[in-house]
Amino acid sequence: MNVSVVKETAPGERRVALVPEAVAKLRTAGLEVLVESGAGDGAWFTDDSYAEAGASVVRRADALAADVVLMVGRPDAATVSALRSGQAIVGLLSPLTDPDLTSSLAAAGVTAISMDMIPRTLPRAQPMDALSSQANIAGYKAALVAATEFGRFFPLLITAAGTARPARVLVLGVGVAGLQAIGTARRLGALVSAYDVRPETRTEAESVGATFIELSSVGPAGGEGGYARALTDDERMAQQQELAAHIARHDVVITTAQVPGRRPPLLVTDDALKAMAAGSVIVDMGASALGGNVVGSVPGQTIVTEHGVTIVGAGALPASMPAAASAMYARNVSALLLYLVKDGELALDPADELQAGVIVTAGGAVVHPALREQEAPTPVLPEEDEPTPVQPEERADRP
Protein backbone atom coordinates (compact mmCIF):
# COMPACT_ATOMS: atom_id res chain seq x y z
CA MET A 1 0.00 0.00 0.00
CA ASN A 2 1.23 3.49 -0.72
CA VAL A 3 0.40 6.68 1.12
CA SER A 4 1.02 10.15 -0.19
CA VAL A 5 1.36 13.67 1.10
CA VAL A 6 -0.03 16.47 -1.06
CA LYS A 7 0.78 20.16 -0.91
CA GLU A 8 -1.95 22.07 0.91
CA THR A 9 -4.11 24.31 -1.27
CA ALA A 10 -5.82 26.62 1.26
CA PRO A 11 -4.55 30.21 1.13
CA GLY A 12 -1.92 30.85 3.83
CA GLU A 13 -1.68 27.18 4.79
CA ARG A 14 1.98 26.36 5.35
CA ARG A 15 1.67 23.07 7.20
CA VAL A 16 2.37 19.67 5.67
CA ALA A 17 0.81 16.37 6.73
CA LEU A 18 4.06 14.40 7.16
CA VAL A 19 7.54 15.55 8.11
CA PRO A 20 10.60 13.48 7.09
CA GLU A 21 10.89 11.89 10.56
CA ALA A 22 7.36 10.47 10.15
CA VAL A 23 8.15 9.15 6.65
CA ALA A 24 10.85 6.97 8.11
CA LYS A 25 8.43 5.59 10.71
CA LEU A 26 5.80 4.69 8.11
CA ARG A 27 8.41 3.03 5.88
CA THR A 28 9.49 0.88 8.81
CA ALA A 29 5.88 -0.28 9.03
CA GLY A 30 6.05 -1.42 5.39
CA LEU A 31 4.29 1.51 3.72
CA GLU A 32 5.52 3.17 0.56
CA VAL A 33 5.46 6.96 0.94
CA LEU A 34 5.02 9.44 -1.91
CA VAL A 35 5.46 13.18 -1.34
CA GLU A 36 4.31 15.84 -3.79
CA SER A 37 7.27 17.97 -4.79
CA GLY A 38 7.24 21.18 -2.74
CA ALA A 39 4.71 19.86 -0.19
CA GLY A 40 7.01 20.72 2.73
CA ASP A 41 8.36 24.04 1.42
CA GLY A 42 6.09 26.21 3.60
CA ALA A 43 7.41 24.47 6.73
CA TRP A 44 11.07 24.35 5.56
CA PHE A 45 11.08 20.61 4.82
CA THR A 46 12.79 20.20 1.45
CA ASP A 47 12.12 17.55 -1.18
CA ASP A 48 15.64 16.25 -0.50
CA SER A 49 14.90 15.76 3.19
CA TYR A 50 11.87 13.61 2.31
CA ALA A 51 13.89 11.63 -0.24
CA GLU A 52 16.62 11.03 2.37
CA ALA A 53 13.94 9.68 4.74
CA GLY A 54 12.91 7.17 2.05
CA ALA A 55 9.98 8.89 0.31
CA SER A 56 9.55 9.17 -3.44
CA VAL A 57 9.13 12.80 -4.46
CA VAL A 58 6.46 12.89 -7.19
CA ARG A 59 4.18 15.21 -9.19
CA ARG A 60 0.80 16.13 -7.72
CA ALA A 61 -1.10 13.84 -10.08
CA ASP A 62 0.92 10.85 -8.88
CA ALA A 63 0.48 11.80 -5.23
CA LEU A 64 -3.28 12.08 -5.78
CA ALA A 65 -3.37 8.53 -7.18
CA ALA A 66 -2.06 6.91 -3.97
CA ASP A 67 -4.11 4.42 -1.95
CA VAL A 68 -4.22 6.84 0.99
CA VAL A 69 -3.80 10.58 0.52
CA LEU A 70 -2.75 12.53 3.61
CA MET A 71 -3.40 16.23 4.06
CA VAL A 72 -3.74 18.75 6.85
CA GLY A 73 -6.87 20.61 5.82
CA ARG A 74 -9.70 19.92 3.41
CA PRO A 75 -9.30 18.98 -0.26
CA ASP A 76 -10.37 21.70 -2.71
CA ALA A 77 -12.77 20.91 -5.56
CA ALA A 78 -9.97 20.13 -8.04
CA THR A 79 -8.43 17.69 -5.58
CA VAL A 80 -11.74 15.92 -4.94
CA SER A 81 -12.37 15.55 -8.68
CA ALA A 82 -8.93 13.95 -9.10
CA LEU A 83 -9.68 11.23 -6.54
CA ARG A 84 -11.11 7.88 -7.55
CA SER A 85 -13.29 5.27 -5.96
CA GLY A 86 -11.47 3.06 -3.45
CA GLN A 87 -8.99 5.67 -2.32
CA ALA A 88 -8.90 7.04 1.20
CA ILE A 89 -8.07 10.55 2.34
CA VAL A 90 -7.09 11.67 5.81
CA GLY A 91 -7.24 15.28 6.96
CA LEU A 92 -8.92 17.81 9.22
CA LEU A 93 -12.04 17.63 7.06
CA SER A 94 -14.51 19.46 9.38
CA PRO A 95 -17.42 17.25 8.25
CA LEU A 96 -19.80 18.80 10.78
CA THR A 97 -19.40 22.23 9.23
CA ASP A 98 -18.78 21.17 5.62
CA PRO A 99 -21.45 18.61 4.69
CA ASP A 100 -21.10 19.36 0.96
CA LEU A 101 -17.51 18.13 0.98
CA THR A 102 -18.57 14.98 2.82
CA SER A 103 -21.30 14.29 0.26
CA SER A 104 -18.96 14.80 -2.67
CA LEU A 105 -16.36 12.45 -1.19
CA ALA A 106 -19.04 9.83 -0.59
CA ALA A 107 -20.30 10.25 -4.16
CA ALA A 108 -16.76 9.78 -5.45
CA GLY A 109 -16.47 6.50 -3.52
CA VAL A 110 -13.63 7.91 -1.43
CA THR A 111 -13.17 6.80 2.17
CA ALA A 112 -12.91 10.01 4.16
CA ILE A 113 -11.13 9.82 7.51
CA SER A 114 -11.33 13.00 9.55
CA MET A 115 -8.65 13.85 12.08
CA ASP A 116 -10.99 16.29 13.84
CA MET A 117 -13.49 13.50 14.64
CA ILE A 118 -11.10 11.44 16.80
CA PRO A 119 -12.88 10.42 20.03
CA ARG A 120 -10.54 12.43 22.22
CA THR A 121 -11.43 10.82 25.52
CA LEU A 122 -10.29 7.34 24.43
CA PRO A 123 -6.83 6.80 25.95
CA ARG A 124 -5.58 5.01 22.81
CA ALA A 125 -6.58 8.04 20.73
CA GLN A 126 -4.37 10.51 22.64
CA PRO A 127 -1.39 10.28 20.26
CA MET A 128 -3.79 10.93 17.34
CA ASP A 129 -5.46 14.01 18.83
CA ALA A 130 -4.67 16.62 16.19
CA LEU A 131 -7.25 19.07 17.55
CA SER A 132 -5.30 19.22 20.81
CA SER A 133 -1.86 19.40 19.18
CA GLN A 134 -2.91 22.26 16.93
CA ALA A 135 -4.88 24.03 19.68
CA ASN A 136 -1.78 24.00 21.90
CA ILE A 137 0.17 25.75 19.18
CA ALA A 138 -2.63 28.22 18.53
CA GLY A 139 -2.98 29.12 22.21
CA TYR A 140 0.75 29.71 22.58
CA LYS A 141 0.89 31.86 19.46
CA ALA A 142 -2.23 33.82 20.43
CA ALA A 143 -0.48 35.09 23.56
CA LEU A 144 2.59 36.08 21.52
CA VAL A 145 0.47 37.86 18.90
CA ALA A 146 -1.36 39.72 21.66
CA ALA A 147 1.93 40.77 23.26
CA THR A 148 3.25 41.96 19.89
CA GLU A 149 0.15 44.03 19.13
CA PHE A 150 -0.06 45.50 22.64
CA GLY A 151 1.64 48.88 22.91
CA ARG A 152 2.77 48.27 26.48
CA PHE A 153 4.64 45.59 28.43
CA PHE A 154 3.15 42.28 29.56
CA PRO A 155 5.41 42.00 32.68
CA LEU A 156 5.85 44.36 35.60
CA LEU A 157 9.01 46.31 34.77
CA ILE A 158 10.84 48.54 37.19
CA THR A 159 13.43 50.66 35.43
CA ALA A 160 15.27 53.96 35.99
CA ALA A 161 12.78 55.49 33.55
CA GLY A 162 9.81 54.41 35.62
CA THR A 163 7.64 51.43 36.44
CA ALA A 164 5.38 49.62 34.00
CA ARG A 165 2.45 47.77 35.52
CA PRO A 166 1.80 44.25 34.26
CA ALA A 167 -0.78 43.81 31.51
CA ARG A 168 -4.19 42.43 32.49
CA VAL A 169 -5.07 39.60 30.14
CA LEU A 170 -8.45 37.87 29.96
CA VAL A 171 -8.77 34.46 28.29
CA LEU A 172 -12.33 33.53 27.28
CA GLY A 173 -12.70 29.79 26.73
CA VAL A 174 -10.46 27.50 28.78
CA GLY A 175 -10.05 24.42 26.58
CA VAL A 176 -6.71 23.23 25.27
CA ALA A 177 -5.91 26.50 23.47
CA GLY A 178 -7.11 28.67 26.34
CA LEU A 179 -4.96 26.86 28.89
CA GLN A 180 -1.90 27.25 26.69
CA ALA A 181 -2.68 30.94 26.14
CA ILE A 182 -2.99 31.44 29.91
CA GLY A 183 0.31 29.69 30.58
CA THR A 184 2.14 31.63 27.88
CA ALA A 185 0.74 35.03 28.94
CA ARG A 186 1.69 34.19 32.54
CA ARG A 187 5.23 33.26 31.48
CA LEU A 188 5.45 36.67 29.80
CA GLY A 189 4.55 38.23 33.14
CA ALA A 190 0.92 39.27 32.60
CA LEU A 191 -1.82 39.07 35.22
CA VAL A 192 -4.27 36.60 33.70
CA SER A 193 -7.98 36.03 34.30
CA ALA A 194 -10.06 33.37 32.58
CA TYR A 195 -13.67 32.40 32.02
CA ASP A 196 -15.47 29.37 30.60
CA VAL A 197 -18.96 27.91 30.84
CA ARG A 198 -17.73 24.47 31.87
CA PRO A 199 -17.35 24.44 35.67
CA GLU A 200 -14.38 22.03 35.65
CA THR A 201 -12.29 24.69 33.90
CA ARG A 202 -11.97 26.69 37.14
CA THR A 203 -9.36 24.37 38.68
CA GLU A 204 -7.66 23.86 35.29
CA ALA A 205 -7.32 27.64 34.77
CA GLU A 206 -6.14 28.17 38.34
CA SER A 207 -3.56 25.40 37.99
CA VAL A 208 -1.82 27.37 35.22
CA GLY A 209 -1.94 30.65 37.14
CA ALA A 210 -5.17 32.39 36.11
CA THR A 211 -7.82 33.94 38.32
CA PHE A 212 -11.15 32.40 37.34
CA ILE A 213 -14.12 34.67 36.69
CA GLU A 214 -17.55 33.29 37.52
CA LEU A 215 -20.65 34.90 36.03
CA SER A 216 -23.74 35.07 38.22
CA SER A 217 -26.08 35.21 35.23
CA VAL A 218 -25.01 31.97 33.47
CA GLY A 219 -25.05 28.53 35.03
CA PRO A 220 -22.84 25.58 34.12
CA ALA A 221 -23.09 24.67 30.43
CA GLY A 222 -21.16 21.47 29.94
CA GLY A 223 -22.38 19.41 27.00
CA GLU A 224 -21.60 16.00 25.49
CA GLY A 225 -18.10 14.54 25.29
CA GLY A 226 -16.53 17.11 27.61
CA TYR A 227 -17.46 19.99 25.30
CA ALA A 228 -19.61 23.03 26.04
CA ARG A 229 -23.24 23.13 24.91
CA ALA A 230 -24.65 26.06 22.98
CA LEU A 231 -26.29 28.60 25.27
CA THR A 232 -29.94 29.57 24.97
CA ASP A 233 -30.74 33.06 23.66
CA ASP A 234 -31.42 34.32 27.20
CA GLU A 235 -28.22 32.81 28.57
CA ARG A 236 -26.23 34.23 25.69
CA MET A 237 -27.49 37.76 26.18
CA ALA A 238 -26.94 37.60 29.94
CA GLN A 239 -23.44 36.26 29.37
CA GLN A 240 -22.54 38.99 26.88
CA GLN A 241 -23.83 41.70 29.20
CA GLU A 242 -22.07 40.46 32.31
CA LEU A 243 -18.85 39.70 30.45
CA ALA A 244 -18.72 43.24 29.03
CA ALA A 245 -17.82 44.72 32.42
CA HIS A 246 -14.97 42.21 32.87
CA ILE A 247 -13.72 42.77 29.33
CA ALA A 248 -13.61 46.55 29.91
CA ARG A 249 -11.13 46.24 32.79
CA HIS A 250 -8.63 44.17 30.83
CA ASP A 251 -5.93 45.35 28.42
CA VAL A 252 -5.86 42.20 26.35
CA VAL A 253 -8.56 39.62 25.60
CA ILE A 254 -7.85 36.27 23.96
CA THR A 255 -10.98 34.41 22.86
CA THR A 256 -10.95 30.66 22.15
CA ALA A 257 -14.59 29.62 22.67
CA GLN A 258 -16.02 26.91 20.41
CA VAL A 259 -19.05 24.62 20.40
CA PRO A 260 -18.58 21.67 18.01
CA GLY A 261 -20.62 21.93 14.80
CA ARG A 262 -21.79 25.50 15.46
CA ARG A 263 -20.51 28.92 14.67
CA PRO A 264 -18.34 30.19 17.53
CA PRO A 265 -20.34 31.91 20.29
CA LEU A 266 -20.25 35.69 20.23
CA LEU A 267 -18.67 36.79 23.50
CA VAL A 268 -17.42 40.32 22.78
CA THR A 269 -20.23 42.56 21.56
CA ASP A 270 -20.18 46.04 20.13
CA ASP A 271 -21.02 47.47 23.57
CA ALA A 272 -18.16 45.53 25.16
CA LEU A 273 -15.76 46.82 22.51
CA LYS A 274 -16.84 50.41 23.08
CA ALA A 275 -16.20 50.04 26.82
CA MET A 276 -12.58 48.94 26.29
CA ALA A 277 -9.78 51.48 26.62
CA ALA A 278 -8.05 52.67 23.48
CA GLY A 279 -4.90 50.62 22.96
CA SER A 280 -6.54 47.40 24.13
CA VAL A 281 -5.97 44.28 22.05
CA ILE A 282 -8.24 41.34 21.27
CA VAL A 283 -7.04 38.15 19.63
CA ASP A 284 -10.04 36.22 18.30
CA MET A 285 -9.04 32.61 17.82
CA GLY A 286 -12.60 31.80 16.83
CA ALA A 287 -12.40 34.05 13.75
CA SER A 288 -13.57 32.07 10.74
CA ALA A 289 -15.86 32.23 7.75
CA LEU A 290 -18.64 31.17 10.16
CA GLY A 291 -18.04 34.24 12.34
CA GLY A 292 -15.93 34.67 15.48
CA ASN A 293 -16.13 35.29 19.22
CA VAL A 294 -15.71 39.02 18.63
CA VAL A 295 -18.08 41.27 16.73
CA GLY A 296 -16.52 42.54 13.52
CA SER A 297 -13.43 40.32 13.62
CA VAL A 298 -12.19 39.33 10.18
CA PRO A 299 -10.28 36.06 9.68
CA GLY A 300 -6.67 36.71 8.74
CA GLN A 301 -6.89 40.46 9.28
CA THR A 302 -5.98 42.90 12.01
CA ILE A 303 -8.37 45.81 12.33
CA VAL A 304 -8.58 48.79 14.66
CA THR A 305 -12.00 50.01 15.77
CA GLU A 306 -12.85 53.70 15.80
CA HIS A 307 -12.33 53.53 19.58
CA GLY A 308 -8.76 52.33 19.16
CA VAL A 309 -9.18 48.66 19.99
CA THR A 310 -7.08 46.28 17.88
CA ILE A 311 -8.87 43.08 16.88
CA VAL A 312 -6.75 40.30 15.41
CA GLY A 313 -8.78 37.72 13.45
CA ALA A 314 -6.59 34.78 14.37
CA GLY A 315 -8.47 31.61 13.46
CA ALA A 316 -5.56 29.99 11.62
CA LEU A 317 -2.64 30.38 14.02
CA PRO A 318 -1.16 26.85 13.73
CA ALA A 319 -0.26 27.62 10.10
CA SER A 320 1.87 30.51 11.39
CA MET A 321 4.12 28.01 13.21
CA PRO A 322 4.34 25.51 10.35
CA ALA A 323 7.39 23.53 11.41
CA ALA A 324 6.12 22.76 14.92
CA ALA A 325 2.52 22.32 13.79
CA SER A 326 3.50 19.94 10.97
CA ALA A 327 5.76 17.87 13.23
CA MET A 328 2.94 17.42 15.75
CA TYR A 329 0.28 16.78 13.11
CA ALA A 330 2.58 14.25 11.41
CA ARG A 331 2.86 12.33 14.69
CA ASN A 332 -0.94 12.40 15.07
CA VAL A 333 -1.64 11.27 11.50
CA SER A 334 1.06 8.57 11.57
CA ALA A 335 -0.32 7.18 14.84
CA LEU A 336 -3.79 6.95 13.29
CA LEU A 337 -2.52 5.44 10.07
CA LEU A 338 -0.49 2.79 11.88
CA TYR A 339 -3.59 2.01 13.98
CA LEU A 340 -5.64 1.47 10.80
CA VAL A 341 -3.09 -0.61 8.91
CA LYS A 342 -2.78 -4.38 9.35
CA ASP A 343 -0.20 -6.38 7.37
CA GLY A 344 0.59 -3.38 5.19
CA GLU A 345 -3.03 -2.73 4.16
CA LEU A 346 -5.79 -0.45 5.40
CA ALA A 347 -8.04 -2.71 7.48
CA LEU A 348 -11.07 -0.68 8.51
CA ASP A 349 -13.29 -1.99 11.27
CA PRO A 350 -16.43 0.09 11.89
CA ALA A 351 -17.08 -1.91 15.06
CA ASP A 352 -14.05 -0.27 16.63
CA GLU A 353 -15.10 2.85 18.57
CA LEU A 354 -12.10 4.87 17.51
CA GLN A 355 -12.51 3.99 13.83
CA ALA A 356 -16.27 4.59 13.92
CA GLY A 357 -15.44 8.05 15.24
CA VAL A 358 -13.10 9.04 12.42
CA ILE A 359 -14.51 7.30 9.33
CA VAL A 360 -16.92 9.73 7.75
CA THR A 361 -17.60 8.16 4.36
CA ALA A 362 -17.11 4.58 3.13
CA GLY A 363 -18.46 2.42 0.32
CA GLY A 364 -20.00 5.42 -1.45
CA ALA A 365 -22.05 6.59 1.54
CA VAL A 366 -21.84 8.93 4.49
CA VAL A 367 -21.44 6.50 7.39
CA HIS A 368 -20.68 8.65 10.41
CA PRO A 369 -23.64 8.54 12.82
CA ALA A 370 -23.37 12.26 13.66
CA LEU A 371 -23.83 13.09 9.98
CA ARG A 372 -26.35 10.41 9.06
CA GLU A 373 -28.67 11.63 11.81
CA GLN A 374 -28.96 14.94 10.02
CA GLU A 375 -31.56 14.51 7.30
CA ALA A 376 -30.96 17.92 5.78
CA PRO A 377 -27.24 18.71 5.58
CA THR A 378 -27.34 22.04 7.40
CA PRO A 379 -25.49 21.31 10.61
CA VAL A 380 -23.88 24.72 11.14
CA LEU A 381 -26.31 26.43 13.43
CA PRO A 382 -26.01 30.17 13.86
CA GLU A 383 -25.23 31.44 17.33
CA GLU A 384 -27.61 34.33 16.83
CA ASP A 385 -28.53 36.98 14.28
CA GLU A 386 -25.50 38.59 12.76
CA PRO A 387 -24.67 41.61 14.92
CA THR A 388 -23.88 45.00 13.48
CA PRO A 389 -20.15 45.08 12.93
CA VAL A 390 -17.99 47.92 14.17
CA GLN A 391 -16.58 50.19 11.49
CA PRO A 392 -13.08 48.84 11.15
CA GLU A 393 -10.09 50.72 9.94
CA GLU A 394 -8.19 48.05 8.02
CA ARG A 395 -4.51 47.67 8.67
CA ALA A 396 -2.93 46.10 5.68
CA ASP A 397 0.49 46.20 7.37
CA ARG A 398 -0.57 43.53 9.88
CA PRO A 399 -0.77 39.76 9.40
Which residues contact ligand NAD (rule: CB under 6 A)? 120-121, 126, 129, 131-132, 135, 172-178, 196-198, 201, 226-228, 231, 256-260, 265, 267
CB nearer to ligand NAD: give 237 or 346: 237
CB nearer to ligand NAD: give 147 or 170: 170
Least spacing, CB of residue 390 vs ligand NAD, in Å: 20
CB nearer to ligand NAD: give 107 or 370: 370
* Active-site residue flag, 241: no
Least spacing, CB of residue 170 vs ligand NAD, in Å: 11
Tell me which of 129, 196, 251, 284 is the catalytic residue.
129
Q: What are the backbone dihedrals phi and psi of residue 174, each rounded to the nearest 5 degrees, phi first?
A: -115, 60
Residue nearest to ligand NAD (CB): 175
Going from the C-alpha of 382 to that of each of 20, 241, 262, 339, the distances in angstroms are: 41, 19, 6, 36
- Counting Cα atoms < 13 Å in the Cβ hemisphere of 325 gives 26
Least spacing, CB of residue 383 vs ligand NAD, in Å: 9
Tell me which of 48, 59, 81, 126 is the catalytic residue.
126
Sign of CA dihedral 131, 10, 281, 163: positive
Strands 393-394 and 302-304: antiparallel
Tell me which of 4, 104, 114, 132 is the catalytic residue.
132
Least spacing, CB of residue 210 vs ligand NAD, in Å: 13
Least spacing, CB of residue 236 vs ligand NAD, in Å: 7
Q: Is 346 left (phi over 0), alpha (psi -120 to 50) or beta?
A: beta
Neighbours of 55 (CB within 10 A): 26
* Active-site residue flag, 129: yes
Least spacing, CB of residue 319 vs ligand NAD, in Å: 17
* Active-site residue flag, 124: no
Q: Is 348 exposed, middle or buried (0-12, 13-18, 19+ CB in 10 A)?
A: middle
CB nearer to ligand NAD: give 110 or 170: 170
Q: Rounded distance, CA 147 to CA 252, Å? A: 9
- The amino acid that residue 26 corresponds to is L
Tell me which of 14, 15, 74, 120 is the catalytic residue.
120
CB nearer to ligand NAD: give 86 or 226: 226
Least spacing, CB of residue 228 vs ligand NAD, in Å: 3
Q: Rounded distance, CA 150 to CA 146, Å? A: 6
CB nearer to ligand NAD: give 35 or 325: 325
CB nearer to ligand NAD: give 58 or 197: 197
CB nearer to ligand NAD: give 7 or 120: 120
* Active-site residue flag, 258: no
* Active-site residue flag, 339: no
Least spacing, CB of residue 380 vs ligand NAD, in Å: 14
So which residues are the catalytic ones? 120, 126, 129, 132, 227
